[in-house]
Amino acid sequence: MESLDLIITGSQDKNLNLWELSTGRRTTIVKEAHTDVIRSLAFVEDLGFLSASNDETLKLWTFEGELISLIKGHSSFVFSCAAISFDKYVSGSDDHMVKIWNNTKCVQSILHSATVWAVAVHSTSKDIITACGDGSVRVFSLDQSR
C-alpha cells in the first residue's frame, strides 16, 4: 500500500482534524464528528479510519473525512477501537464490554469485570488484546483451533 501523507486527530472538542504530514497543514476539519469527546482513532487499511467516543458510538470514515457508517451498541463511553480487517473491528468501553463488529453488526460481546480502557489487534495473528480496569490484560484468539 502506498504511504499516506496524513495524520488524524480527535479530541475533547468533538472535531476530527486531518493534517498533511509533509507540510503540517490542516486540510480538513470535521466539525461535531461526534456528540461527545473523541477517545480513540484507528487506521482501517485500504478504507479509512475509525473513531470512538464518549457518545457510545464508533464511526467509520474515509481518509477524506466523509462518514461511511455509524456503529452503535455500547451502553457507555467507548474508550478504544482497533481494526482487525477492512470490515471487522473491535471496541472497548466503560460498559465493561469488548465488542467485535462485522461492519456495523456486533457479532460478539465479551464481558470484562471492569472498564475496558484499551483494545489492540496483533498485526500477524489478529489476536485481540484488552486492558481492563481490574489490572488485567487479556488475549483473545479468533483462531478456533487455539
- How does pLDDT run along the chain (146 residues), one tens digit per residue? 457 899 999 999 999 999 999 999 999 999 999 999 999 999 999 899 999 999 999 999 999 999 999 999 999 999 999 999 999 999 999 999 999 999 999 999 999 999 999 999 999 999 999 999 999 999 999 777 76
Measured CA to CA, the distance from residue 26 to residue 8 in angstroms comes to 9
Q: What is the pLDDT, as a whole number, of residue 1?
A: 42
CATH among 3.40.630.20, 3.40.50.720, 2.130.10.10, 3.40.50.300 for 35-140: 2.130.10.10
What pLDDT score does 71 carry? 98
b (16+ CB within 10 A) / e for 81-111: bbbbeeebbbbbbbbbbbbbbeeeebeeebe
> Where are the chain's structural domains?
35-140
User: CA angle at residue 16 from 121 to 3, to 5 degrees?
Assistant: 55
Residue 56 is which amino acid?
E
Q: How many CB atoms lie within 10 A of CB 36?
A: 14
pTM over 0.85? The answer is: yes
Measured distance CA(78)–CA(51) in Å, rounded: 9
